[in-house]
Amino acid sequence: MEPAGSGIAIEFRDVSYTLPSGQRLLSDLNLQVRRGETLVLLGRSGSGKTTTLKLVNRLLLPSSGEVRVNGAPTDVIQLRRSIGYVIQDVGLFPHYTVERNIALVPTIEGWSEERIRARVQELLRVVGLEPQMASRYPRELSGGQRQRVGVARALAADPPILLMDEPFGALDPLTRDELQREFLDLQQRLRKTVVFVTHDLREALRLGSSIALMEAGRLVTVLPPENFLHSDDPWAAAYVKAFGVGSYDAAERSAP
Amino acid sequence: MNFVHFMLQNDVLELTWEHLWLVGISTLLALLVGLPLGIMIARWPRWNKPVLAGANIIQTIPSLALFGFLLPVPWLGARVERLAILALTLYALLPVIRNTYTGIRGVDPAVVEAGRGMGMTDRQLLFRVELPLALSVILSGVRVAVVISVGLATIAAAIGAGGLGEFIFRGLAMVNNQLILAGAVPAAILALSADLSLGWLERRLRPR
C-alpha cells in the first residue's frame, strides 16, 4: 500500500485481458489515474473501455499484468464496497424502494437505521431528487431519475473512487446535458477519483480532466481535453473529425 | 343429492386427506431437492444439461411402470406410501428445477452486475436479489408440479398407497361409474383449487 499522500489512485501495469476463447480484449495496458481526477476512457464499442473499468473493481481479473488500487482493501468484496459503480442500464433493484436501493452498501455494511435514513435523505438532495422519492419504486421513475438514484447509490458509502460506465448514454440529450452539468458540480465539491467510460467525444471533453483514447484493446494516447482537439494523433484526429466539434466545447467546459 | 350422500358415506374425506398428504409431502421434498439443484445449475451452467436431462428422463417413465419398478426396492417396498411419495417427488422435480433455473437466469443482468459490482457476496445476491426476483417463476413451477402430482397420485392407489385413486380403481373393477366419479371429482377439485390459489399467489409475487 502506498502512503496516503501519494498521487496515484489506480495503476495498470502491462495489463492484458484475454477471453477463455482466446480473443484478446486488452493488450499491454499501462495507465495511471491520479487521485481526484476524472479520467475518461474514450473509444468506440469493443475498444476495451468497459473491460478496463471492470478490471478496477475486479469484476474481471487480468490475464497478465497488474491492476493496483492504492489504499483499497485487498479483500475483493471490501474493495468493491469502497468503489462506487454506475452502469448505463443503472441496474436498480426493481423490488426495492429508492431508499433501499440507495442504502444498498450501507445496509450490507451494517450501518444503523437512523444513519442510513439520514444518509439517503442527504444523497437525494445531492443528486437533485425530492425527499418523497425515497418511497418510490424504480418503475415509477423516469430514465433520468433512475440514473440519479444510480449515482446516489454509488456515492452512498462515500467511496473515494467512482467507476462510471456510460452512465448517461441511454438518456435523451436534454436530460443528459442536465446530468453532465450536475456531475461537474458534484465533482467540484467531492473530488472523487473517477474513471468514466464513454464513446461520446463531447461528453469526454466536457467531463474529463484527462482523456484516454482506446482503440482495438490498446491505449492510443492520454491527453488533457484542451490538447485533444489539436492532437497530431491520427485516431484522436479521426475522432474529432467524426464528431465535428470545434473550440466551442472546450470554451464551454471552463465556464460550466 | 344421492351422489353427495354416497361420497360422505364412503370415506371420501379420509381418502382426500390421504391424497393431499401424498401430494403435499412429495411437493415439499421436490422443493427441498429441486430448489438447490436449480440454483446450482443457474450458477454453474455446465451442470445444466445433465441435471435437466436427468429430470426429463424421469418424466418420460410411465407412472404405472415407475411404481412397479420401485416396488421390489427393500426399504421402499415395505411401506407403499414411501414408494408413492418417492415417485411423486421424482415427477415433481423437473418443473421445480427448470423454473428455478429459468427464474434466476431471467433476472436482469444489469441488476446482477450492479449488485456484484457494489460488493454483494454470492449469498447476498442470491437471497436478496435473485431468489426474490425469480420467486413468481419458481412458484409457477411449483404450481405445475402440484397439479401433475394431484393427477398422478390417483395412480398410487394401484400399488395400494391410498388416496382418491382407490375409488377410481375400485370403480373400474366393479364397472361402477359413481365410484369412479367419487374419486375423480374430488381429485379434479383439488387440482383446480391448487392451480387457482397458487396462480393467485404467483401473480401477487410477480415483480412489476
Question: Between B108, B114, B129, which is nearest A85 by CB?
Answer: B114
Which residues on chain B are in Cβ contact (under 8 Å) with A90? 110, 114
> Which CA distances in Å does B174 have to B163, B168, B170, B177?
18, 10, 6, 9
- The mean per-residue pLDDT over the stretch A200-224 comes to 94
- Do residues B130 and B112 touch, judged by C-beta distance below 8 A? yes
> Which CA distances in Å does A199 have to A55, A156, A180?
19, 27, 15
Residue A256: per-residue pLDDT: 44
Query: Confidence class of residue A2 from pLDDT cuts 50, 70 and 90?
Result: very low
Which residues on chain B are in Cβ contact (under 8 Å) with A154? 118
Give the three-class secondary structure for A229.
Answer: coil
* CB–CB contact A94 B113 (8 Å): no
- pLDDT score of A252 more than 80: no
- pLDDT score of B207 more than 90: no
Q: Distance, in angstroms, between B43 CA and closest chain A CA?
A: 16
Substitution target from A56, A58, A77 for chain B, most B beta carbons within 10 A: A77
Within chain A, residue ranges assigned H as helices are: 49-56, 76-81, 98-102, 104-108, 113-126, 143-155, 173-190, 201-207, 225-228, 234-243, 248-254
- pLDDT score of A255 more than 80: no
- The mean per-residue pLDDT over the stretch A105-129 comes to 95
Within chain B, residue ranges assigned H as helices are: 2-9, 12-43, 48-60, 63-70, 74-78, 80-105, 109-117, 122-124, 131-153, 165-174, 177-205
Residue appearing with cell numbers 467507476: A163
- pLDDT score of B77 more than 90: no
Contact status of A169 with chain B (Cβ, < 8 Å): no
Q: Which residues pair with A164 in a beta bridge?
A: A86, A196
Substitution target from B112, B116, B118, B205 for chain A, most A beta carbons within 10 A: B118
Q: How much is the pTM?
A: 0.86
Which residues on chain B are in Cβ contact (under 8 Å) with A93? 111, 114-115, 128-129
Report the residue of chain A nearest B120, measured CA to CA.
Answer: A77
For residue A16, report the phi and psi dihedrals to the nearest 5 degrees: -125, 150
* Average pLDDT of every residue of chain B: 90
Q: Which residues pair with A141 in a beta bridge?
A: none
- pLDDT score of B52 more than 80: yes
DSSP-assigned letters across all residues of A97-137: -HHHHHTHHHHHTT--HHHHHHHHHHHHHHTT--GGGGG--
- The mean per-residue pLDDT over the stretch B114-142 comes to 95
Say if residue A146 is exposed, middle or buried (CB neighbours under 10 Å; 0-12, 13-18, 19+). buried
Residue appearing with cell numbers 484478446: A24
**What count of Cα atoms within 13 Å lies in the side-chain half-sphere of residue A188?**
10
- pLDDT score of A108 more than 90: yes
Q: Distance, in angstroms, between B27 CA and closest chain A CA?
A: 27
Three cell numbers at A57? 473493481
Give exposure, B46-66, as e/b (b: 16+ Cβ within 10 Å): eebeebbeebeebeeeebeeb
Q: Which residues pair with A42 in a beta bridge?
A: A198, A213
Looking at chain A, the number of H-run helices and the number of E-run strands are 11, 9
Contact status of B122 with chain A (Cβ, < 8 Å): no
- The mean per-residue pLDDT over the stretch B37-45 comes to 94
> Which CA distances in Å does A87 have to A120, A151, B119?
20, 9, 14
Chain A / chain B CB contacts < 8 angstroms: 64
* CB–CB contact A91 B110 (8 Å): yes
* CB–CB contact B118 A85 (8 Å): yes
Q: Angle at which helices B12-43 and B131-153 pack, to 10 degrees?
A: 140
- pLDDT score of A248 more than 70: no
Q: Distance, in angstroms, between B55 CA and closest chain A CA?
A: 30
Report the residue of chain B nearest A138, measured CA to CA.
Answer: B208
* 0.90 surpassed by complex ipTM: no
Three cell numbers at B147? 397439479
* CB–CB contact A105 B115 (8 Å): no
* CB–CB contact A90 B114 (8 Å): yes
- Summarised one tens digit per residue, pLDDT across range A74-98 is 899 999 999 999 999 999 999 999 9
Query: Confidence class of residue B4 from pLDDT cuts 50, 70 and 90?
Result: low
d(CA B121, CA B133): 17
Residue A159: per-residue pLDDT: 95
- The mean per-residue pLDDT over the stretch B24-41 comes to 96
Query: Confidence class of residue A250 from pLDDT cuts 50, 70 and 90?
Result: low
**What count of Cα atoms within 13 Å lies in the side-chain half-sphere of residue B1?**
0
- Summarised one tens digit per residue, pLDDT across range A120-141 is 999 999 999 999 999 999 999 9
Question: Between B113, B121, B129, which is nearest A93 by CB?
Answer: B129
> How much of chain B, in percent, has pLDDT values that exceed 90?
62
Three cell numbers at A207? 467531463
Query: Confidence class of residue A73 from pLDDT cuts 50, 70 and 90?
Result: confident
- pLDDT score of A193 more than 70: yes
d(CA A77, CA B137): 29
Which residues on chain B are in Cβ contact (under 8 Å) with A79? 119
Query: Confidence class of residue B205 from pLDDT cuts 50, 70 and 90?
Result: confident
Query: Confidence class of residue B159 from pLDDT cuts 50, 70 and 90?
Result: confident
